[in-house]
A and B are shown apart, each in its own frame.
Chain A
């Protein structure tokens, strides 16, 4: 097997593993629109990177983190939880990204950003991405109990002395990081799929939050494996193949009675 393929597989699995528990929080906290907004913002990051001639990965990460901070503040100030407002932001971010990239001319391979470009992964990318995934996973594990208490009821957690706003910021920060790096695996348009579909499938099989998070990571890895194989055999784009495999696994869980 050529090196680039091995790198691709490792990177995709690393993202799938961290997307499991993170995706569980996205489902519990109804953050999928947040994920979309961040992902679409990543495209804007690409445009900024190209325009300012800085490292694109750096620009994307910075853009996602900035957007996460903005969303955090907006949500605190205005109680921005509603569907319409996030829909507006999310799609505006996508449109802004698309327009600014096309304004750059033809120097950017838009398709690669929209649907993922796993096979160009270098050893440097591999080290960076697995490192980031490891950090995010560690954060989630360390703060698991507090994060979970915030999910159960923010007010209750606050009265009991849990720093709710900080936990919220931590979750959005972790999401921004993962989204920024998952862009390479599944592309801007399908990042939320990688977060939401394995977690939703896992929900049907689990009786505890921990089981759901671990199950989501396993289902994500399976979907990644099947998707990459399918992509290799049928020469389909890797991102959509992975997302579709995850959907297939979810459909399989429908055969099982929900616990």
Chain B
């Protein structure tokens, strides 16, 4: 993959070279090459069963490749947000205790304020809704001051407004922390404003590059259809303003966006 000029001097966070992954004779990932640099957001998109989660697991070291190599920067601090977290009902655990296991009080308060989850602190972790859980998991990932954020379908169970906000927040966090981000999504149109590199996966890498170029790539169009590509044109200009968690427009927009967002 192409290097970002700003980070060319720094070592990549993750470097996957010619990696293959087989499960019981089935090839799940086929010849994957991926370089993720600090301060870079890479989004993996692909249809169901394309091996997106497997690629994430390979990147963070939960899977070892059947062939090829996965190199991580030594002692890489990873903030990982899994697709789902199912916690045994027999474990009495509220959000506050859950978060406090991962860092000190200052880090906790900072993350709680950043994600606006103060009202969830006393809630048992098993009772959080999908969207609430995603925010709590993101807060947890932040507390470790990660060099790399890995998010497996972060917008699952979040409504469209919440999704845009979540992705915007991820983009902001990248700037604040200077961390790399690897995320999985199946909505290219929602993530593309926040993404540097898109990797279109269907067991092998169909195409990769900047979001706009991927959205016009024949293999992408074949996988997702022309409708998806048309959606992108609609959505790309839609990220000039931001919503907070409650859906209100935030005033600090970096462009003068005058159109009505509703």
Contacts and interface: CB of A to CB of B under 8 A. Distances in A.
Interface of A: 27-30, 145, 148-149, 151-153, 155-156, 158-160, 200, 203, 206-209, 211-212, 259
Give chain B's interface residue range (CB within 8 Å of chain A): 20 to 34
Interface in B70-123: 78, 80, 82, 85, 87-88, 90-94, 97-98, 101-102
A206 B92 contact: yes
A109 B85 CA distance: 49
A254 to B, nearest CB: 15
Contacts of B82: 153, 155-156
Nearest to B146: A160
A156 B82 CA distance: 7
A246 B60 CA distance: 44
Interface string B45-76: 00000000000000011100000000000000
A151 B101 CA distance: 12
Contact of A158 (B61, B88, B94, B97): B61
A203 B90 CA distance: 7
Nearest to B78: A159
A103 to B, nearest CB: 40
A203 B85 CA distance: 21
B130 interface: no
A149 B62 CA distance: 16
Contacts of A211: 92
A92 B98 CA distance: 39
B91 A153 contact: no
A149 B101 contact: yes
Given A158-B62, A159-B80, A160-B80, A209 B87 contact: no
B144 interface: yes
Contacts of A209: 91-93, 97
25 contacts: A28-B88, A28-B91, A145-B101, A148-B101, A151-B91, A152-B85, A152-B98, A152-B101, A153-B82, A156-B85, A158-B61, A159-B60, A159-B61, A159-B62, A159-B150, A160-B78, A160-B80, A203-B90, A206-B92, A208-B93, A209-B93, A209-B97, A211-B92, A212-B92, A259-B92
A258 to B, nearest CB: 9
Nearest to A258: B92
A155 B85 CA distance: 10
B162 to A, nearest CB: 22
A178 B226 CA distance: 64
Contacts of B102: 149, 160
A259 B126 CA distance: 13
A208 B97 contact: yes
A45 B177 CA distance: 56
B91 A160 contact: no
B62 A207 contact: no
A200 B98 CA distance: 20
A25 to B, nearest CB: 10
Contact of A153 (B87, B92, B144): B87
B98 to A, nearest CB: 7
B195 to A, nearest CB: 22
A30 B92 CA distance: 15
Contacts of A152: 85, 87, 91, 93, 98, 101
Nearest to A154: B62
Contact of A28 (B61, B90, B101): B90
A207 B93 CA distance: 6
Contacts of B78: 159-160
A186 to B, nearest CB: 22
A158 B90 CA distance: 22
A203 B87 CA distance: 14
A4 to B, nearest CB: 37
